[in-house]
């Protein structure tokens, strides 16, 4: 199967130039047909499936180049899941210019959390997807009633906090790697606070047993010293998500670290220097992440019985150190 990608841009009306533009890369199942558009412009038509495809919007970790998630986008597109990666260079905090998943900090304080979305990129990306679905290569190929948000690290936290159909009625659910819903004391929350997540949609939380970045970042949440690499992700599952329909999962991957989902890794950006060494095969870990994500989306979120069985069977993989479901 062939996977191709096209580029699009989205303007964020609430942002200030020059930090008001999101650049998107949309991966889709393609069909090489030898046409002149393909030969001349590299425009490859979509695969001729019998129905439109669901869409994933994947939120990157802070200062992690989106090319590092291309392997996952391709794996999802191969299974008929269109996947959007995006870059947004913005000022998340005064004087801190970064590659950002898009965090609306004004809505992430004790007196504002839960009143409005904290994902400032999502509305603009959804508007761009409606344009893509109207004309061009992917016209009428996207199921814009079946969108899933996912993310890594800070991007994963944004996904968790915005998995809310009251704000985004087109959402089906959320998956994350190395992300939690702990509340930062720098934003005014008390030590060791956990944010409440919307319970109306399913979640898949994946964690690495060797996550040194989460362990080293525990001071942000009131810890006096380095803490567990997976504890706050586990507490997100148990304390933050009050959903008990058998479709919400917490999975720990043995030997995986914070950047196991990133390939290739650019050590010049991000906080790779805080991470612990992974153990075992990085290729096997990524394959397991891609399988779990694909099966969760197709099975739990879209109701495919075969994908749901495959998800259950994957729990026998020796890389699965722990699995909780509710």
For 293-326, what is each residue's pLDDT tens digit?
999 999 999 999 999 999 999 999 999 999 999 9
Task: Compute the distance between CA of residue 65 and CA of residue 81 in angstroms, rounded to an integer.
Answer: 21
Beta strands 171-177 and 142-152 are parallel
- pLDDT (average), residues 226-232: 85
- pLDDT (average), residues 57-80: 96
DSSP 273: G
Task: Compute the distance between CA of residue 189 and CA of residue 70 in angstroms, rounded to an integer.
Answer: 35
- Compute φ and ψ for 171, nearest 5 degrees: -80, 145
| Whole-number pLDDT of residue 57 | 98
| Whole-number pLDDT of residue 106 | 92
pLDDT digits (tens, 9 = 90+) for 260-284: 999 988 888 888 888 899 999 999 9
Concatenated DSSP letters of 113-154: TTSS-SBTTHHHHHHHHHHHTTSSTTTT-EEEEEEEEEEETH
Task: Compute the distance between CA of residue 125 and CA of residue 281 in angstroms, rounded to an integer.
Answer: 35
Report whether pLDDT(40) > 60: no
Report whether pLDDT(24) > 60: yes
pLDDT digits (tens, 9 = 90+) for 154-206: 999 999 999 999 999 999 999 999 999 999 999 999 998 999 999 999 999 99
Q: Which residues pair with 203 in a beta bridge?
A: 174
Average pLDDT over the chain reads: 93
Report whether pLDDT(224) > 80: no
Report whether pLDDT(134) > 70: yes
Percent of all residues in the chain with a pLDDT value above 70, rounded to a whole number: 96
Neighbours of 314 (CB within 10 A): 18
DSSP 299: I
| Whole-number pLDDT of residue 222 | 80
Report whether pLDDT(1) > 70: no
Report whether pLDDT(105) > 80: yes
Answer left, alpha or beta for residue 189, where phi above 0 means left and psi between -120 and 50 means alpha. beta
| Whole-number pLDDT of residue 34 | 63
Helix, strand, coil percentages for the chain (3-state, nearest 5) = 30, 25, 45
Report whether pLDDT(215) > 70: yes
The fold adopted by the segment(s) 2-325 is: Rossmann fold (3.40.50)
Task: Compute the distance between CA of residue 292 and CA of residue 161 in angstroms, rounded to an integer.
Answer: 21
| Whole-number pLDDT of residue 39 | 61
């Amino acid at each position: 199967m062939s996977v191709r990608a096209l580029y699009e841009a989205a303007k964020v009306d609430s942002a200030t130039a020059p930090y008001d533009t999101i650049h998107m890369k949309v991966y889709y199942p393609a069909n090489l047909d030898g046409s002149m558009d393909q030969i001349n412009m590299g425009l490859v038509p979509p695969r001729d499936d019998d129905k439109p495809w669901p869409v994933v919007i994947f939120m990157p970790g802070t200062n992690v180049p989106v090319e590092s998630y291309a392997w996952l986008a391709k794996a999802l597109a191969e299974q008929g899941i269109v996947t959007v990666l995006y870059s947004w260079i913005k000022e998340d905090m005064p004087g801190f210019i970064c590659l950002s998943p898009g965090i609306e900090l004004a809505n992430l304080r004790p007196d504002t959390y839960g009143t409005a979305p904290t994902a400032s990129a999502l509305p603009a990306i959804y508007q761009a997807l409606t344009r893509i679905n109207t004309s061009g290569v992917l016209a009428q190929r996207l199921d814009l009633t079946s969108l899933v948000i996912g993310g890594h690290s800070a991007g994963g936290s944004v996904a968790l906090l915005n998995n809310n159909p009251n704000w985004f009625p087109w959402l089906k659910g959320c998956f994350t790697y190395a992300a939690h819903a702990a509340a930062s004391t720098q934003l005014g929350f008390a030590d060791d606070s956990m944010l409440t997540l919307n319970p109306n949609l399913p979640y898949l939380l994946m964690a690495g047993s060797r996550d040194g970045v989460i362990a080293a970042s525990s001071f942000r949440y009131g810890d006096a010293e380095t803490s567990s690499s997976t504890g706050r992700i586990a507490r997100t599952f148990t304390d933050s998500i009050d959903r008990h329909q058998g479709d919400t999962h917490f999975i720990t991957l043995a030997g995986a670290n914070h950047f196991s989902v990133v390939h290739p890794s650019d050590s010049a950006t991000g906080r790779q220097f805080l991470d612990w060494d992974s153990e075992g095969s990085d290729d096997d870990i990524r394959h397991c992440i891609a399988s779990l994500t694909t099966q969760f989306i197709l099975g739990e979120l879209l109701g495919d019985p075969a994908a749901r069985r495959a998800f259950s069977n994957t729990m026998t993989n020796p890389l699965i150190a722990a699995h909780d479901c509710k």
